Structure 1
Amino acid sequence: MQDKLGTILNGDCIEGMNSLPAGSVDLIFADPPFNIGYKYDVYDDQKAAEDYLQWSRDWMQAAHNALKPDGTFWLAIGDDFAAELKMKAQEVGFHTRSWVIWYYTFGVNCKNKFTRSHTHLFYFTKDKKQFTFRAADPTNRVPSARMLVYNDKRGNPRGRLPDDTWIIPPDVEQTFALRPQDLEECYQPDESDWYFPRVAGTFKERAGFHGCQMPEQLLGRIIRTCSSEGEVVMDPFSGSASTLVVAKKLGRKFLGFELSPEYTRLGTERLADTAVGDRLDGAPEPTMSAPQTWPKKKKKKQQLAKSEESPTAASTDVFDCLNIATVRLDPQGRFTQVSDLYCQMTGYSPQELTGGMTPLDLDHPDDVQVNAHRLQGLLSGKGTSKVDKRILHKDGRTVWVRVSANRITDSDGNPVEIVGVVEDITAAREAEEKLRRSEERFRLVANAAGDAIWEIDLPNQQVFRNDVYARMLGIRPEETAGSWDWRLTNINEDERDRVGESLKVALDDPETSHWAADYHMRSAAGEILFIQDRAFISRDEEGNALRIIGTMRDMTEIENAQKEREQLIRRVQEAQQLESLGILAGGIAHDFNNILTTILSNTSYVRSDLPKDSPHRELLSDVEIASARAADLCQQMLKYAGQGRQQKTQLDLSSEISKVAPLLSGTIGTNTRLRLNLHPGLPLIEADTSQIDQVIINLIINAAESLNQEQGEVVVTTGQSHVSASDPDINDWLPRPEPGFYVTLDVRDTGCGMTPELIQNAFDPFLTTRLTGRGLGLSSVHGILRSHSGSIQIQSDGRSGTTFRVLLPAGADGSPSGTDYVSDTPAILIVDDEPKVRSAAARILERAGFDVHTAVDGMDCLAVLRSHEKPFSLLILDLIMSQMDGTRTFEQIRDDYPDIPVLLMSGHHESSAPESNGHQPVGFLQKPFDTEKLTDVVTRALETQHSTEERI
């Protein structure tokens, strides 16, 4: 895009605009062929109507794609297809803002219809609310008719926006427009001079090589109003290059397309002769300081004669009516003539001023040096001067004036005099200063407040937000400008419609003056904030909403504190419930054991006295079997209560599972595949073997039963993990495991999953979802783990599968059961330039109990190796990186750190792994990987390295 700016590209505009990046242009002005048979070099200007409309739709669609979301599109078109092209523009997504009539002089004579003296100018925007329209820019405003014609002081001194019928005179000192009804006398077409003139063949402005050329003053109004300096202006039909010339003069970036090679060449030459800051051709630059009036028709000849006699005499009365003073200076800068209004403005008499005084004698002392330089420049050759400055009244007070001066020369170019107009702008400056101070006070108060303050001017869609708003959302203060729509897009999707609809209802109801909403909003950093929003709606007499001002309070900490409080209460209640149930179960079990003891002892006593052939012996055996089952039930109840008999020893969890699991093959059914992923070398745990066996059996059977006799899988995985205080709560109603190292047992099934309600009640005794279940399996698991200072967690999405994770404290000495490489926590360095891959791998390995460090590329890897005090046990190196790839890094590591084992990883095949001087990596990790795969590959790599070191 940048290489195309500042040029006219020769070729079809549709192809050209489609080649631009979407949303790259701020303003498009298009003056396409009108399809009236005009000769435009290589253009076909006489298409069939249907073909012309389809072609027009195609190029407008391309323009829509190239335009920024807040961009503006202007279309100039004749009568024949004006309405049709307006509809086509709306079809492709443009929104109509204005239908402007350009009413020009030197109309096109017609033989069998009225002379055509206007062109249609359509003003479109890409978005209904987001667009550039610089209404406050004084160069885009025109004088108030109240002040200009009727000398009514109630008129806005800043003027007004022009009407949508542009009738602008060709030879005046500005580009603003009056309506005919604003003039003292009805306009006469044969003598009128209030139009934008069409650039006729005799005009100096005419480029000379194109039949249809837009006036620079008209283009200047559009570009000034709908774009800012430095923004991109594009013309798809460059033609005479006038649009691009004006854009360049006004300090905009520009780009044009032109089908004719000849027009492209001539337009490029014209641009080369144009400089930024050049005056626009036609009328001089717009000004609000010296507006033009149009004399009555019946006095025009009289005034013309008077003006020839004295250049300023005819205009003095006019300027006095406009509250504007006039002065004349000689070539030495001395006053030679002053109006009465200037004398009132300064407090000096005409005799005092014309008695040798210069404007510098009236200037504020602080400004004399600057103004002297400016006056000297005007006297020595600069044609005009416009400046706002301070002068001192005779009584000593300061008066602010706006001066516009012109240097008049004779036929030889020698200065004759300087003619100037002076306007007292003291009241306006004081009002601006009061407004500035008021706005500054409001801004200080708003920023001093702890809440974010916002305000929307609804008719103009102008938005104010204070600095607290920016800090709250983590954005820069200059980014706070925008519409209400912008804020809605940052509200949580689930709440967005509710908040937007509630505001709309409040704004539409004339009786509503207040609005309130609570919602969650996303900050720039992705943090979810809980916002309390309150606002007041200001309305006009008819009840229409004019503005809304409100405050936003960040209630996130309060909401989080409330959630934490609720979680704490729920945990306490759950703990009390579990404790109460445990006490109850323990008490019942103890008492019931006593009863069973009496039954069993007496039954065995009686049975021993009976003859062997007694029929009662079988009956007593049934009593003994039933009593034994009841005793077993008591043991489970005691386990739930954490009071079961325990005989703790040093236990290798992986080894124990490998012994117990095969015994369950007949129990879990043929439809269930049991897969073991047991990691050797885990730290030993101190546990009761029989109770741990019970945990293993209960969890595997529970997982198998969740498959409901369907084909499925139960995966049993062991590992190790480090728990820190900052780890998130998986099941917030269960006690958190204490920080430290744990041996883990994961039992995952592919069953139907568990709902949140079922998960929360999973460990309640006698709760079961099985017809044959007793509801004591999981509750006894929970009791056994409590007695072993362990913990259990459940994860399920409620639809597919559940994972139970058991955490048992690692032995006090941390000794592994087999190999000893984990006795000292292995330090692992992960090198990958993809942040998400890097962080995901780090999380997995940290949970597995490793000391993990990361580096963003090869250079960073070498820096970490140099700064790390103890050697790394393993380095995981990605092969494909933008800065110093894995191959080069591997070479460097082998040269500088040959003892560090390297595990290579890549999304490509293992064959892409490099060899370095005979040195091989300890393994290869294929992307993508999951938790089990990464942990398994890393463990095997460390074991391989440990075995190698032992052999050495």
Structure 2
Amino acid sequence: MKEDPTSLSKHEIQILIDQLKTKDLFIDSGTEGIGIAENGIILLINKQLVKMFGYDSPDELIGQPIINYISPQSRKLVALKLTENLTKPYESFFKRKDGSEFPGLIFARNAKFTKKIVRIATIRDITDFYDSRKMLESSENRYRSLFNQIPVTIWEEDASELLKSSRELGLENIDNLDDYLDKNPDIIRKLISKIHIVNVNETALDLLNLRDKETLVNLLPQFFSSNSLIAFKKVIIAITGNKTYFESESEFINKNGEKIDIHFIWSVVPGYEKTYSKIISIITDITSRKKVELERKEMDSRYQQIQKLESLGTFAGSIAHDFNNLLMGILGNANLALNQIDPASPIVGLLKEIEEVANKASNLTKQLQAYSGKGKITKELFNLNDLIKEMQGFIKMTIPSEVKIATNLSKTAPWIEADRAQVKQIIINLLINASESMDDKGTISLKTFHITKETLDDHLGLMILHPKNSAYFTCLEIIDTGKGIEHKLKRKIFDPFYSNNSKGKGLGLSVVQGIIKGHEGGLLLDTRINEGTSFKILFPLSVNFRSLINDEKPEIKDSHMVSGSKIMVIDDEPVVLSVACKLLRKIGFDPIAAVDGYEAINIFHEKSDIKLVILDLTMEKISAQQTFSELRKLNPKLPIVISSGFSRNEVFQQFGIEEKMEFLQKPYSISELEQIILSLI
């Protein structure tokens, strides 16, 4: 086989070795392996390289192609590098004798020797460095995976430019920086632009509904609300004050324009306290939590409001009760005096004035009880249409002439069982409220119709009061064309003394609500801004009176007075007890007075011919319920009238429905007393 003319002879190789040794370029000490090759064939190799490749002798490698000792994954790269005259250090994987591989760093260059080109390479085993780097890369990958997948928004920021600009503006010398920035919001916006977003994780993009970091960086100001500026103001103050940590709450606006409540922790990475060039912000979406907190706060507020109204109602009812007892003495004595005095006497006028004032005072207590939902309800059957027609003249006097009143009354007569005076109060209060909401100009419509339980849900609006369970309802609807009611005020307008109109006193709607509550009715509110408001009042229609829909009015029965009958009055108020006995005596009965339940029971043991008992609801020594029970044990059929300054509802809540039992509200007149007695004996 003919020798390649470009190859070095053995003699030339030996000369090359001697020259390299002379120049300390080829030695057999140290950790680096050195090899010389020509045309990709190994010519010379030192002991370190032999050992590095796992061989025993250089002869095992000399004369072999370099490529045999290169890992398949690096062969393409090495083949390319062999064509270069002088290469920069590069990494490659080499193959040992046993087949294992190791990473190495190659330093290689071409050299001319006896007019021929050889390749001189130094190889350094970098296994330890490679393993460390691999561990570092693995750690970085784990960090990046954690950074992107953690369900908390993380921002890496560089605020070094912000720090520089704040110093140029001299912010660190301003005493009240918080107040200064509030007065100069443009400075906040300017400094915000100096914050550089270095990196954000995937959760940050999801929070703002974005696809990439570039969009966030380029459009960052668009995601800020006015509250965001407050948070950034805190960042500026923190940096200016050399703080490295704080946390606060703020909000963002996402790509869809939705508000997002956030909690963020702002912290300077240790080692960057002087430059603020590396800051980590951890942001948590607390929108759901804020919503729950708001709902809980609204519920707490509503609960407190209910408690406040109940307390106020109880207080109003107590005042009305005590006041009614006082009025009993005034009205009762005025009644008696008028019945005994000569009609021609000049004192008659004075007594009638006393009676009139007492009745007005009684009406005032009815208003208090109506507000509390505990007012005296004197129910009667009447046609709601007829009542509205009767009120036309009064309505015209009450409502400004610029307001048009339109009626759409049911052709099927809507009979209701209610307190006539209180229903009038509902209508007047709602008409005044409607007129004021329209600035005394516009149209108010009054409608009457029937609703069944099945169709109740078809009527839109907020159910302020739920009616008692009934199959049928008579509905009174009052509609205005006013400015409507804001959502947040829908329930507040029924609070006592609340009014969003300078003309209002804030009692009209609270009284309406109390009256409807006392009638166990329903109240439905439907309102739209700049369109108007509708109030629907639902009166439950009992089974006994459904026939009234066909205009059938029930028969009213009469009774005859039984004079001389013994009637016991039990009351711990001396004035009330005295007046009641005088009234009974005046209408022909024989009154027996008892100051408490104990005395009444003792008297009843002695006088079993007592025909009826008038029993005060609230007594100290022995309760009305206990007295009632003991008397009924003595005479199970004894008629008993419960009398009180409280309402009928209070009585039936305590006693339930008992046979031969009626209720008489204080103050009562001589005719009211006579009528209720005649209905029982």
Distance 1:402-1:467 versus aligned 2 partners, 3 A rule = farther
Aligned pair partner of 1:750 in 482, 487, 490? 482
- Specify the alignment match of 1:495 in structure 2: 227
Distance 1:683 1:351 in 2: 124
Aligned pair partner of 1:506 in 235, 238, 242? 238
- Specify the alignment match of 1:688 in structure 2: 418
Distance 1:561 1:450 in 2: 20
- Specify the alignment match of 2:360 in structure 1: 629
Letter aligned with residue 455 of structure 1: E
Letter aligned with residue 223 of structure 2: N
Question: SS of the residue aligned with 1:625?
Answer: helix
Aligned pair partner of 1:362 in 57, 69, 82? 69
Contact kept? 1:535, 1:551, Cα under 8 Å: yes
Contact kept? 1:324, 1:423, Cα under 8 Å: yes
Distance 1:467 1:812 in 2: 64
- Specify the alignment match of 1:521 in structure 2: 252
Contact kept? 1:326, 1:342, Cα under 8 Å: yes
Letter aligned with residue 363 of structure 1: I
Question: SS of the residue aligned with 1:570?
Answer: helix
Question: SS of the residue aligned with 1:669?
Answer: coil
- Specify the alignment match of 2:93 in structure 1: 390
Aligned residues: 465
Contiguous gaps of at least 5 residues in structure 2: 1-22, 27-31, 111-115, 161-194, 550-681
Distance 1:801-1:394 versus aligned 2 partners, 3 A rule = same
Aligned pair partner of 1:783 in 508, 514, 533? 514
Question: SS of the residue aligned with 2:198?
Answer: strand
- Specify the alignment match of 1:439 in structure 2: 140
Distance 1:524 1:399 in 2: 49
Q: CA deviation at 1:698?
A: 0.7
Distance 1:656-1:428 versus aligned 2 partners, 3 A rule = farther
Alpha-carbon deviations, 1:214-271, whole Å to 9, x = none?
xxxxxxxxxxxxxxxxxxxxxxxxxxxxxxxxxxxxxxxxxxxxxxxxxxxxxxxxxx
Contact kept? 2:155, 2:280, Cα under 8 Å: yes
Alpha-carbon deviations, 1:420-465, whole Å to 9, x = none?
9998787885565333212233245556766433323557945334
Alpha-carbon deviations, 1:854-912, whole Å to 9, x = none?
xxxxxxxxxxxxxxxxxxxxxxxxxxxxxxxxxxxxxxxxxxxxxxxxxxxxxxxxxxx
TM-score (norm 2): 0.51
Distance 1:358 1:485 in 2: 52
Distance 1:567 1:669 in 2: 38
Distance 1:611 1:653 in 2: 42
Q: CA deviation at 1:518?
A: 0.9
- Specify the alignment match of 1:464 in structure 2: 199
Distance 1:745 1:329 in 2: 108
Alpha-carbon deviations, 1:326-371, whole Å to 9, x = none?
98664xx655688999889867787654412341x2233xxx3x77
Aligned pair partner of 2:351 in 592, 596, 620? 620
Letter aligned with residue 355 of structure 1: G
TM-score (norm 1): 0.39
Distance 1:723 1:529 in 2: 35
Distance 1:590 1:812 in 2: 30
Aligned pair partner of 1:665 in 389, 396, 403? 396
Q: CA deviation at 1:548?
A: 0.6
Contact kept? 2:158, 2:276, Cα under 8 Å: no
Distance 1:356-1:660 versus aligned 2 partners, 3 A rule = farther
Letter aligned with residue 93 of structure 2: R
Distance 1:430 1:682 in 2: 95
Alpha-carbon deviations, 1:768-814, whole Å to 9, x = none?
9777x7764222112023232534659798xx89846456488799x
1:316-715 matched pairs, under 5 angstroms: 330=39, 334-335=41-42, 353-359=61-67, 361-364=68-71, 368=72, 390-393=93-96, 396=100, 398-399=102-103, 430=131, 433-443=134-144, 445-446=146-147, 451-457=152-158, 461=196, 463-469=198-204, 473=207, 475=209, 479=212, 489-491=222-224, 493-509=225-241, 511-523=242-254, 528-538=259-269, 543-646=274-377, 664-674=395-405, 688=418, 690=420, 691-706=422-437, 711-714=441-444
Distance 1:497 1:656 in 2: 60
Distance 2:414 2:123 in 1: 95
Q: CA deviation at 1:467?
A: 4.7
Distance 1:806 1:324 in 2: 99
Distance 1:527 1:566 in 2: 22
Contact kept? 1:673, 1:714, Cα under 8 Å: yes
Question: SS of the residue aligned with 2:432?
Answer: helix
Q: CA deviation at 1:668?
A: 0.6
Distance 1:656-1:546 versus aligned 2 partners, 3 A rule = farther
Contact kept? 2:484, 2:527, Cα under 8 Å: no
Alpha-carbon deviations, 1:671-699, whole Å to 9, x = none?
323456x6979999976373444323211
Letter aligned with residue 337 of structure 2: V
Distance 1:456-1:334 versus aligned 2 partners, 3 A rule = same
Contact kept? 1:763, 1:782, Cα under 8 Å: no
Distance 1:740 1:339 in 2: 108
Distance 1:436-1:599 versus aligned 2 partners, 3 A rule = same
Distance 1:488-1:774 versus aligned 2 partners, 3 A rule = closer
Contact kept? 1:457, 1:547, Cα under 8 Å: yes
Question: SS of the residue aligned with 1:546?
Answer: coil
Distance 1:651 1:403 in 2: 113
Distance 1:723-1:443 versus aligned 2 partners, 3 A rule = farther
Alpha-carbon deviations, 1:795-837, whole Å to 9, x = none?
798xx89846456488799x9x99xxxxxxxxxxxxxxxxxxx
Contact kept? 2:149, 2:201, Cα under 8 Å: no
Distance 2:447 2:43 in 1: 104
Letter aligned with residue 362 of structure 1: Y
Question: SS of the residue aligned with 1:629?
Answer: helix
1:243-258 matched pairs, under 5 angstroms: none
- Specify the alignment match of 1:117 in structure 2: none
Contact kept? 2:246, 2:267, Cα under 8 Å: yes
Distance 1:657 1:390 in 2: 102
- Specify the alignment match of 1:764 in structure 2: 496
Question: SS of the residue aligned with 1:670?
Answer: coil
Contact kept? 2:465, 2:522, Cα under 8 Å: no
Higher relative contact order (CA 8 A, sep 6+): 2
Alpha-carbon deviations, 1:615-652, whole Å to 9, x = none?
33333333333233223223222222222344779999
Contact kept? 1:530, 1:554, Cα under 8 Å: yes
Contact kept? 2:414, 2:448, Cα under 8 Å: no
Distance 1:683 1:464 in 2: 75
Distance 1:609-1:738 versus aligned 2 partners, 3 A rule = closer
Distance 1:585-1:461 versus aligned 2 partners, 3 A rule = closer
Letter aligned with residue 497 of structure 1: L
Q: CA deviation at 1:582?
A: 1.8
Contact kept? 2:383, 2:416, Cα under 8 Å: no
Percent of counterpart pairs with the same letter? 22
Q: CA deviation at 1:745?
A: 4.3
Q: CA deviation at 1:757?
A: 8.8
CA-based RMSD of the aligned residues comes to 6.0
Letter aligned with residue 490 of structure 1: F
Distance 2:92 2:457 in 1: 72
- Specify the alignment match of 1:61 in structure 2: none
Question: SS of the residue aligned with 1:545?
Answer: coil
Distance 1:736-1:536 versus aligned 2 partners, 3 A rule = farther
Larger Rg: 2
Distance 1:528-1:339 versus aligned 2 partners, 3 A rule = farther
